[in-house]
Structure formats: structure tokens, C-alpha cells
A and B are shown apart, each in its own frame.
Chain A
Amino acid sequence: DTEVTQTPKHLVMGMTNKKSLKCEQHMGHRAMYWYKQKAKKPPELMFVYSYEKLSINESVPSRFSPECPNSSLLNLHLHALQPEDSALYLCASSQVGEANEQFFGPGTRLTVL
């Protein structure tokens, strides 16, 4: 299985809502990533988990809260988002190590009203 799955595919939420994005992989990868991507722009790294521990937080606002419950799952909890947070949120996984390519999920298209 070489697939990264993300749910939901689309999410519309108000600024006072709490929601979560989910990512799953069964490739045995021990590094997992959250990216934010605006239209026609490169992905912007948000968080990196290595061996289920948060190793990189790219100064992301606290209204985004990541969680890695086990080696296959990655969640992104959302609370009190702003309209400018509307974007495609991509999850990726890889083997740990700089030489390893990332496998990306299809993304969650988030719209904040």
C-alpha cells in the first residue's frame, strides 16, 4: 500500500467552529508532515513529526494543533480559524532521513467563512 489518505476531501467551517483533519498511511513511514498550500503556490511546511514526536513547528499559530496518536495517523485540529486560513492542506509521509522522498495525500480543501 503506497497511499496516503486524507479525510475529509472538503471542509467548510465558520470562524468559531472546531474541526479536525485526518491523515493515514500504512507504508511504515516514521516521518509525517502537514503542509498548507495556496492556489498556484508551493506547499508551505507547517509541522513535522518524527517517530511520533513533534520535531518541527514552523511558527504556526496555535489555532492549528497537530497530533500524532500512532505511527500511521496524523491529525490536525482546527479552532477559531480565520478566512485567510482557507487553503489546501496536504499531509505527507516518508522514511526518516534526508534522502527519502515524500508521499503526499490528495489534500483537504478547507474554506473558512
Chain B
Amino acid sequence: AQSVAQPEDQVNVAEGNPLTVKCTYSVSGNPYLFWYVQYPNRGLQFLLKYITGDNLVKGSYGFEAEFNKSQTSFHLKKPSALVSDSALYFCAVRDGGGYQKVTFGTGTKLQVIP
């Protein structure tokens, strides 16, 4: 079985400050991890993914994420938040054992305050 947890329903950060959105996962095999962003009344947009290799993954719009195997975490980060980053962020996981289903976390609403 695979699962993913986003412990914070909402994260507030001031514009220009660094931001972190937390994600932890559980899989039986090797994890394939993804971050998606959703703006109101829109579909999800892919930000970045971890498959293998470097633990620090860089993605779209200046976002990056750090894979930590020992802590089973994949936190999303950005050095300097923009008001336009305000949206709903979903972490997702796929078990690398041939299972097609993607499991999404419950989502974290990011509010960047001007």
C-alpha cells in the first residue's frame, strides 16, 4: 500500500520569505514522488518529481524539493515566495512496483501575504 501525508492544511508566509510545504510518504517499494499545484477552478499543474539520483530536485517557477529517504519526506521549498504562488499544493506518490495508481495527499493551501 502507498500513502502520503501533508500535515498542514494551510501555510502562511510573507512575500519574499522562504516557504516550505511538508510531505511525508509511505511505500513498499521505491518511491516516485511528485508535487502539483492547483489554482482555483483549474486542473492540477505538475511542478517537479523525484525518481532517483540527487536528493534536491529543481522544478518549475523556482520551486525545489528535497527527498529524504531516512525521514520518508519530500518537502517543497522556494527561497523567496511570491503572492502569485498562493494556491493549493498536492504531494503525490507512486510505488515503483508497477502500480499505476497515484495517491495524492490532502493538499496544503499556501497563502503568501503581501
Chain A residues with CB under 8 Å of chain B are: 4, 31, 40-43, 45, 48, 50, 55-56, 58, 88, 90, 92, 98-99, 101-107, 109
A98 touches B44 (CB 8 A): no
Chain B 45-67, CB-CB to A under 8 Å as 1, else 0, gives: 11001010000000000000000
The segment out of B11-19, B69-77, B78-86, B88-96 that lies at the interface is B88-96
In this assembly, does B114 line the interface, its C-beta being within 8 Å of a C-beta of chain A? no
Q: How many residue pairs bridge A and B at CB < 8 Å?
A: 60
Is the CB–CB distance between A31 and B100 below 8 Å? yes
A40-B88, A103-B46, A104-B43 known; A98 vs B100 contact (CB < 8 Å): yes
* A42 in contact with B49 given A48-B100, A98-B95 (CB within 8 Å): no
Nearest Cβ on chain B to A112's Cβ, whole angstroms: 18
Chain B interface residues toward A at CB < 8 A: 32, 34, 36, 41-46, 49, 51, 88, 90, 94-102, 104-107, 109
CA A92 to CA B104, docked complex, whole Å: 14
